[in-house]
Structure 1
Amino acid sequence: MLDANKREHTSSYYAASQRDKETFPQLEGSVRTQVCIVGGGLTGVSTAVELSERGYDVVLIEANRIGWGASGRNGGQIIGGYGGSLSSNRETTDKQLGEGATDQLIGMGLECVDIIKERIEKYQIECDLKWGFLNVALNKREMKGIEEFADELKEQKYPHKTRMLSASEVKEYLGTDRYVGGMADDGWGHLQVLDLCKGEARAAEKNGAKIFEQTLAVEIEPGETVKVRTDKGEVIADTLVLGGNAYLAQMAPKLAPKLSKYVLPATSYIIATEPLSDELANDVMPQNYAVCDQRTALDYFRLSADNRMLFGGVSNYSATAPISVTKTLRSKMLKVFPQLEEARIDYYWGGRMGIGINRIPQLGQLYPNVFYVQAYGGHGVAPTHMSGRLVAEAISGDMDRFNIMANVSHMPFPGFGFLRQAMFAAGMSFYKLRDMIG
């Protein structure tokens, strides 16, 4: 169920329930544009919206369907923050990236969520938006991490309501005894992420952007203008944006080989139950918040608009599919909610996310007119929108905020090919073991 049909959406709950099932055309022949965007996930469509709002002529090409990759398969959780750990160490970050960089990054961490909220309102995108998020802890070590994060938010003057929770107070939000505490946050939330992605693509199209699906980019010819060869045509552009993330190397290995050593794919899986009765849904998640625990290979879950439990986890770093995903995820779900024992599993699916060594999004330029964005580390629904804005600002001539991220130093993964992936998996096994020990 990871890539069952490499040109159509995987058989996920999101694909089955998406509101807009109309497709975009395939590119045939040659087209000339100001900006070509490769990748129809949230990075690509968000960049297309930003640029089309600024009056640019934009062509976006997607190898499969809009939202086909992680952008249309993830947990649908809107989690703020941008730049990973950079905003947690003011002295080091400002020294490396310039005075005031930390404050800029803190602001971007709020702005990325605001972009989603404002865009949904502006373009009337129907995507089951619901505010409310819960960080939960399985042990004292994890709870200490949440407390430290809460202190950071307070220091940063976080504008949204938060609430620290004891084990008993967690039960106001979740019908389970599994957690020792947590933090509720009204500034984050959840939605039907494929509807969001498709809705933003329609917004860009409404603004004049041209969008093509089932159009595989296979080669770049850089120069004063950039030529992107596709399987059935070509795009000639003044500027190119690469937004393929974990799928870029897989779909077009010759497209950007310089990027592949800095990002590796990891896979996460989700199951969706049948619709729960209102009584049962209220029993397991009375506040209808999205939830994440604190482990490296974390559990994440929420209710859909039609009361299905969407439960994700089983992160895989070895590039091989685990055996019996549904059985494993169902067992994990029942550890949290044993009252779902009789709930039927209607869907299961997986998707790849791009991971960098430092878990910080990678933004940069391969050439003066070729931009790239990748490596959200499984935390991309909101940050993709910030990246789209930064790239659009840079193309428009304002490089200041883009350069903060472009100047971050990223290390390549050691090794080559399969060995590189194997070393990555071995390293992540240490953190999984630490999570098990507590």
Structure 2
Amino acid sequence: MENVALQAKKPTALLRREQELTQGSYYEASVRRPVPDAPLVGRTTADVCVIGAGLAGLSAALELRARGLSVVVLEAQTVGWGASGRNGGQALVGYASDDAVEQQLPPEQARQAWQVTVDALALLRRRIAAHDIDCDFVDGYLSMAVNARKGEALRAYTEQLERDYGYVMQPIAPDDVGAWIDSERFHSGVYDPQSGHLHPLKYCLGLARAVRAAGARIYEHAPVVQVQRGARPVVRTASGEVACDFVVMAGNVYLNEYGKAVAPDVGARIMPVGTYIIATAQMEAERANALIRQRAAVCDTNFVLDYFRLTADNRLLFGGGVSYTGATPANLRESMRRRMLAVFPQLADLKVPHAWGGFVDITMNRGPDFGRVDGNLYYLQGFSGHGLALTGMAGLLAAEAIAGQAGRFDLLSQLRHRDFPGGPAMRTPALVLGTLYHRLRDLL
């Protein structure tokens, strides 16, 4: 085998922090993983090599197999190890920010781009049903404003969605908030019956099971250290290589963490942002149901936001707080518990046995970053914390494009993205300063 001396880099600071943050995951504690897939050893071939066994990569693999293409999936850790298996579990319509779409695309294409996210939710539901994935899916999502000014902005936004995209959500007036959520924190809100929430790791593992059943090969503990470009790319790990016609790079913030410059031309447009979650001890069902009447997912509208939901076993899962420096907050469990008690002070008696976190990839404009390099290397990144449903659609769009139907992929690949200023050394301080400004605005 050519170039067998290649080795993965030593764990970077990002990867070391990620290893620490996985330890307290409620999701990992509540699943039974199958026997791991073996690493890749030796040379193999495929029509498509997918880098990353998270939701985007697995979705691409499943759709490529449905189109008759042979597929190898290379995963540096284990299936769903990254953001796909550690996120807040909220499957939502729309993008992290609609500005990138609305500022760069004409109105008709902006409507098509919005519809992609609606279709993403429908796709997620179809896959759960088609592959019998037990992932605790619950319909419903509440977007809540913490004061009158933010309530007015939320009202205007929902009116715009109905006017421009035909997407209807139910307004919640200040006097009606108590009928939806037992908290004094919120002024008003809206209810979206189409969005919802689920156990993301259960879903990811179920999707991997479907990918294997479809005939794709998954290799775990197989970090990619080099992609040799050309008419027939070669994707290399430390112990093997895949010769293929197409590559789908779905490694997000980890893509360049294992090998030197696996994808240097796209990595500078995203940066890792830490986000953190806790899960309480179990409650009686009656107490849990009283917190959020419809058991919907909930998120406030602050720039540095809180998000929370009830789990199937009646815990409150509460996420919020971000780290733009990459450093895990001191006393993570207690700091997150204080955020939770600011919303639900009546939970002060509950213990918090689980606290974890991880890194999501964000772009400068918070819009998704999909595209292709050299015609046969596709990349899917920039979900900006809004990817549970959109990752599935991203994989489908990449598969469509590879199979010759690139219309929807090319629609989103029109979105232009800037590199974070200053390179790796300066992009974090610059973003921290910007975030401090928005935090001050959240207090108003």
TM class by shorter chain equals over 0.9
Q: For 1:289-300, list aligned pairs within 5 A.
A: 289-300=296-307
Is 1:100 the counterpart of 2:108? The answer is: yes
Preserved contact between residue 129 and residue 189 of structure 1 (Cα < 8 Å):
yes
Q: Distance in 2 between matches of 1:157 and 1:356?
A: 24
- Residues 142-172 of structure 1, C-alpha deviations (whole Å, 9 max, x = no match): 2122112211232246466x32112231211
Q: Distance in 1 between matches of 2:316 and 2:240?
A: 43
- Residues 266-319 of structure 1, C-alpha deviations (whole Å, 9 max, x = no match): 000000011111232122122111000011110000011000110001111111
Deviation at 1:30, TM superposition (A): 1.2
CA 1:416 to 1:86, structure 2 compared with 1: closer, same or farther past 3 Å? closer
The CA RMSD over aligned residues, in Å, is 2.0
TM-score by length of 1: 0.94
Preserved contact between residue 63 and residue 217 of structure 1 (Cα < 8 Å):
yes
Displaced runs of 4 or more, over 6 A: none
Q: Distance in 1 between matches of 2:260 and 2:437?
A: 30
Preserved contact between residue 33 and residue 237 of structure 1 (Cα < 8 Å):
yes
Preserved contact between residue 227 and residue 236 of structure 1 (Cα < 8 Å):
yes
| Greater alpha carbon shift after TM alignment, 355-364 vs 246-255 | 246-255
1:55 alignment partner in structure 2:
68
Preserved contact between residue 89 and residue 199 of structure 2 (Cα < 8 Å):
yes
Is 1:26 the counterpart of 2:33? The answer is: no
Secondary structure at 1:201 match in 2 = helix
1:369 alignment partner in structure 2:
376
Secondary structure at 1:27 match in 2 = coil
2:132 alignment partner in structure 1:
124
Secondary structure at 2:244 match in 1 = strand
CA 1:256 to 1:7, structure 2 compared with 1: closer, same or farther past 3 Å? farther
Is 1:400 the counterpart of 2:419? The answer is: no
- Residues 203-223 of structure 1, C-alpha deviations (whole Å, 9 max, x = no match): 111111111111010001011
Q: Distance in 2 between matches of 1:311 and 1:65?
A: 25
Preserved contact between residue 50 and residue 392 of structure 1 (Cα < 8 Å):
yes
Preserved contact between residue 100 and residue 366 of structure 2 (Cα < 8 Å):
no
Preserved contact between residue 92 and residue 121 of structure 2 (Cα < 8 Å):
yes
2:157 alignment partner in structure 1:
149
Deviation at 1:390, TM superposition (A): 1.1
CA 1:429 to 1:348, structure 2 compared with 1: closer, same or farther past 3 Å? same
* Percentage of matched positions with identical amino acids: 36
- Residues 161-192 of structure 1, C-alpha deviations (whole Å, 9 max, x = no match): x3211223121121111100000111010000
Q: Distance in 1 between matches of 2:273 and 2:263?
A: 19
Secondary structure at 1:348 match in 2 = strand
Q: Distance in 2 between matches of 1:33 and 1:296?
A: 43
Question: In structure 1, which of residues 276, 281, 303 is the aligned counterpart of residue 283 of structure 2?
Answer: 276
Query: In structure 1, what residue type is equivalent to 2:203?
Result: L
Q: For 1:261-340, list aligned pairs within 5 A.
A: 261-340=268-347
Is 1:111 the counterpart of 2:119? The answer is: yes
Preserved contact between residue 14 and residue 72 of structure 1 (Cα < 8 Å):
yes
Secondary structure at 2:319 match in 1 = strand
Where structure 1 has 5 or more consecutive residues not aligned to the other structure, the ranges are none
CA 1:248 to 1:35, structure 2 compared with 1: closer, same or farther past 3 Å? same
- Residues 245-279 of structure 1, C-alpha deviations (whole Å, 9 max, x = no match): 12222233420111221101100000001111123
Is 1:16 the counterpart of 2:29? The answer is: yes
Query: In structure 1, what residue type is equivalent to 2:436?
Result: S
| Greater alpha carbon shift after TM alignment, 77-86 vs 145-154 | 77-86
Query: In structure 2, what residue type is equivalent to 1:189?
Result: G
2:93 alignment partner in structure 1:
80
Deviation at 1:324, TM superposition (A): 1.1
Preserved contact between residue 22 and residue 358 of structure 2 (Cα < 8 Å):
no
Q: Distance in 2 between matches of 1:84 and 1:55?
A: 35
Q: Distance in 2 between matches of 1:412 and 1:322?
A: 26
CA 1:11 to 1:328, structure 2 compared with 1: closer, same or farther past 3 Å? closer
Preserved contact between residue 372 and residue 379 of structure 2 (Cα < 8 Å):
yes
Q: Distance in 1 between matches of 2:370 and 2:308?
A: 29
TM-score by length of 2: 0.93
1:136 alignment partner in structure 2:
144
| Greater alpha carbon shift after TM alignment, 167-176 vs 267-276 | 167-176
Q: Distance in 2 between matches of 1:274 and 1:158?
A: 40
Deviation at 1:424, TM superposition (A): 1.6
How many pairs does the alignment contain?
Answer: 431
Preserved contact between residue 233 and residue 244 of structure 2 (Cα < 8 Å):
yes
